[in-house]
């Protein structure tokens, strides 16, 4: 679990540049087993946030707690190094050593931690197997594709058995097919190893594919944060329509708009028609898979006897994720 409590970061003024407040009053919790996406425009503080979570950057104010340990309270380099071993990190640019084989790259953090040769060999081999590179142990990074290199970097990040995985634009340099497979791997590893994963990205598509939670940063502040299903249902959230597009102005003045999901949107409609004697027309809408669940933003027209229509609309309002009702 990662907890940031009222974290602020100001880079002090230098001779060439005025002081920069990169983060202000940021409070955030990521539970075990969750993948939290952090999105925001360029310069909004995303990378600073990732660097603060493993204390590569020390916050100016606030505390950072990882797996119950307050990292901001650690002062000795040794204690900090030990704590950092519990936090794996992957970057856009892989940072692999080409002089070493894939296996030796994965072994590196274990070597630095003083793990014996036989054990580190076994663990590195097992991890490369797990990320789908069991046949590439002897390959050097330059002999691997971008997606394969990122898999090696993931295996290396996981070698010290961290509880937390930080991904900073980890798929930004990859083609769409490699991106999809690396993201699927991050999701699988988070689930299987019960990791707490924080994923920095500028691509909303990455959030849709792999995250179950999302946080939007703007000018160093948290503008919105929550489970994807909750965020899409908040009409005031700037992320809502980026996650689930708005169908546009309704073509019918009796249209109602609802956000349905967590369950299949189709099941919601089937259920409605079974319970009430109404005819439902889908006038427009979008359906997306968000964090593995299907959500729909639908414009519906519900026709029938007034009592039945009222019942059906109440049912939608009570059981689904209503946003706006343009008419009732």
Ligand X SMILES: Nc1ncnc2c1ncn2[C@@H]1O[C@H](COP(=O)(O)OP(=O)(O)OP(=O)(O)O)[C@@H](O)[C@H]1O
We find the least distance from the C-beta atom of residue 33 to ligand X, in angstroms, to be 25
Could you say whether residue 42 binds ligand X (CB under 6 A)? yes
* Residue (42 or 75) nearer to ligand X, CB: 42
183-212: which residues touch ligand X (CB under 6 A)? 202
* Residue (45 or 247) nearer to ligand X, CB: 45
* Residue (38 or 244) nearer to ligand X, CB: 38
Give the CA diameter of the chain.
77
**Among positions 37, 45, 59, 247, the unique one binding ligand X when judged by CB under 6 A:** 45
Query: What would the x/- binding string for ligand X be over residues 244 to 283, using CB under 6 A?
Result: ----------------------------------------
Strand partners, 222: 217
Q: How many residues of this chain interact with ligand X, rule: CB under 6 A?
A: 12
Please give the Cα distance from 212 to 198 (Å, whole number): 11
Q: Which stretch binds ligand X (CB under 6 A): 26-34, 46-54, 117-125, 171-179?
A: 46-54
* Residue (41 or 134) nearer to ligand X, CB: 41
Query: What would the x/- binding string for ligand X be over residues 9 to 28, using CB under 6 A?
Result: --x--------x-x------
* Residue (40 or 109) nearer to ligand X, CB: 40
Strand partners, 259: 297, 321
Residues forming contacts to ligand X in the complex (CB under 6 A) are: 11, 20, 22, 40, 42-48, 202
């Amino acid at each position: 679990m990662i907890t940031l409590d009222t974290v602020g970061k100001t880079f002090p003024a230098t001779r060439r540049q005025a002081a920069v407040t990169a983060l202000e009053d940021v409070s955030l919790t990521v539970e075990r087993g969750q993948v939290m996406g952090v999105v925001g425009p360029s310069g909004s503080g995303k990378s600073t946030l990732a660097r603060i979570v493993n204390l590569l950057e020390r916050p100016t104010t606030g505390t950072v707690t990882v797996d119950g340990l307050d990292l901001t309270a650690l002062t000795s380099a040794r204690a900090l190094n030990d704590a950092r071993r519990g936090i794996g990190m992957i970057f856009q640019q892989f940072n692999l050593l080409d002089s070493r084989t894939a296996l030796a790259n994965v072994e590196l953090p274990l070597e630095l931690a003083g793990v014996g040769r036989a054990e580190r060999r076994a663990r590195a081999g097992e991890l490369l197997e797990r990320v789908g590179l069991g046949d590439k142990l002897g390959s050097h990074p330059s002999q691997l594709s971008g997606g394969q290199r990122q898999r090696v970097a993931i295996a290396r990040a996981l070698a010290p058995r961290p509880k937390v995985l930080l991904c900073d634009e980890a798929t930004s340099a990859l083609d769409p097919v490699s991106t999809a497979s690396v993201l699927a791997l991050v999701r699988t590893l988070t689930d299987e190893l019960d990791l707490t994963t924080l994923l920095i990205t500028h691509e909303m598509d990455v959030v849709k594919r792999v995250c179950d939670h999302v946080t939007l940063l703007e000018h160093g502040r948290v503008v919105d944060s929550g489970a994807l299903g909750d965020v899409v249902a908040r009409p005031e959230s700037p992320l809502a329509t980026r996650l689930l597009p708005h169908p546009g102005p309704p073509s019918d003045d009796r249209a109602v708009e609802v956000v349905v999901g967590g369950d299949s949107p189709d099941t919601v409609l089937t259920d409605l028609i079974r319970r009430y004697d109404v005819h439902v027309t889908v006038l427009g809408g979008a359906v997306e898979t968000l964090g593995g669940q299907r959500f729909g933003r639908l414009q519906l027209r519900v026709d029938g006897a007034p009592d039945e229509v009222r019942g059906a609309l109440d049912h939608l309002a009570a059981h689904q994720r209503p946003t706006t009702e343009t008419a009732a």
